Chains A and B, each alone.
Chain A
Amino acid sequence: MEGDLLTVAIVVGVALIFDFTNGFHDTANVVATSVSTRAMAPGLAVGYAAILNFIGAFISLQVAATVAEDVVDPGSIGLLAVFGGLVAAIAWNLITWYFGLPSSSSHALIGGIVGAVFVADGADAIFFKEGVLGEVMIPALVAPTLAFVVGGLSILVIYRIVGRLRPGSVTAGFRAGQVISGGLLALAHGTNDAQKTMGVIALALVAHGSLPASDPTPPTWVVVSAATAIALGTYAGGWRIIKTMGSRIHKMDSAQGFAAQGAGAAVILVSSHEGFPLSTTHTISGAVIGSGAAKRLSAVRWGVAGNIVAAWVLTLPAAAAMGALTYGVTRIFGTGAAGPVIVSVLILAGGALLFARRAQQARTTATTAVEA
């Protein structure tokens, strides 16, 4: 039981680290449009998003319920499978962060858990049709497409209504509006993404026997700690991804930024209400591309958009494979806490190595720029 307690503590700790990396990796996407259109200074935008992420985590528990009950069978999975899925999601987040790809933390998490559970407990422990397909994959396709349509139509409506006004007042008006729309998007992100971590911690608590499988509602301490972790991750930033989302897809004006953020927030919030664990990255990407394409197709840098689509396609299977591998490596050391301890040390070392390489590259780039 002591070993179990240590294992569950490690799993909860790793889940919160995942939540932190989720904020670090994903939320930059949320503030990118505000930064790109100069509606907010980067530091202010990130701090603002962090606060609203924290608040958003308390709004609903529908997505947590989906993750804890509908994707895999909470009654049959073990702690090591949850651990394997979490480590896979963190590793995928770190790799895509290192290469500057805005892939989905949410799909990495779901993919990692499914892969680990598949190897640990077999296909019967996974609700492939109604859960993975019906509540994750199909909404994952619908949401960015819907955000694309809403973002595109919104910008057409905006241009129709404000078309005859002076550009200066329109820009100022929509920059002010982006404080609201950006805040809503951050709130939506906190609502949907923090709940996924809550759902996974609930799964771990069920596996440990601390929560009943019939009602794995996350306790308050789980909600508070998940909200705090994602908010801290958001504050820590993710500037490389901001650059990709905000300006490399297309150069946008403040009206487009408002339309994209509004469309993304609407889709994520309504989906959260229905309990669909979406990717905020995918959804805001769809809205950003939609608002650009509606104005002028050539304004969108389709090559960058293509890289994002490739990351979307890769995430679920790659994370599932990594989840299966992580579970296998962890199991080599038995069913106790030794495996999670060793694998946690390895993932921390890997993360530190990637951060060190990234810092070194940044220093080299700065030195080259100064010499030039």
Chain B
Amino acid sequence: MIAAIVDGGALLQVVWVSLACGLGVTAAYAIAIVGGSRAVELRREGHGVEATIFAIVGLVALGAVLAAIVAGIVALSDK
């Protein structure tokens, strides 16, 4: 009955894409914060190499967040 009324495919897509994007972007941004914070702390303590690694991880995570947002908006405006 309900399956005949609702576009199940579209609704399912809303569910899984929202979950994937919401959780993915949140996790990536949290990793960016960890990377940035740890890089600052380690540099202050004189651990230059570890600080650089954390900074790179943070930047990559931040880049992933921004890329996901841009890709999402482009996908939205394409349809």
Contact = CB atoms under 8 A, between A and B. Distances in A.
10 contacts: A134-B7, A146-B19, A147-B18, A161-B31, A162-B33, A174-B33, A267-B18, A271-B18, A274-B7, A274-B13
Contact of B18 (A134, A270, A275): A270
Given A139-B11, A262-B22, A184 B5 contact: no
Contacts of B13: 270, 274
Contacts of A173: 32-33, 36-37
Contact of B10 (A149, A174, A262, A274): A274
Nearest to B58: A173
Contacts of A150: 18-19, 22-23
Interface string A149-173: 1110110011001100110011001
Given A60-B76, A154-B26, A274-B13, A161 B34 contact: yes
Interface residues of A, number: 48
Given A59-B73, A142-B15, A165-B33, A258 B10 contact: no
Interface of A: 59-60, 62, 129-130, 133-135, 138-139, 142-143, 146-147, 149-151, 153-154, 157-158, 161-162, 165-166, 169-170, 173-174, 177, 180, 184, 187, 191, 258-259, 262-263, 266-267, 269-276
A258 B26 contact: yes
Contacts, number: 120
Contact of A266 (B18, B29, B30, B77): B18
Interface of B: 2, 4-7, 10-11, 13-15, 17-19, 21-23, 25-27, 29-34, 36-38, 40, 65, 69, 72-73, 75-77, 79
Contacts of A149: 19
Contacts of B30: 157-158, 161-162
Contacts of A191: 76
B77 A60 contact: yes
B18 A146 contact: yes
A270 to B, nearest CB: 5
A6 to B, nearest CB: 36
Contact of B5 (A133, A151, A274): A133
A158 B15 CA distance: 20
Contact of A273 (B19, B32, B40, B76): B76
Contacts of A180: 65, 69
Nearest to A187: B73
Contacts of B21: 266, 270
Nearest to B66: A180
A271 B36 CA distance: 33
A157 B26 contact: yes
A330 to B, nearest CB: 32
Given A138-B5, A157-B30, A62 B11 contact: no
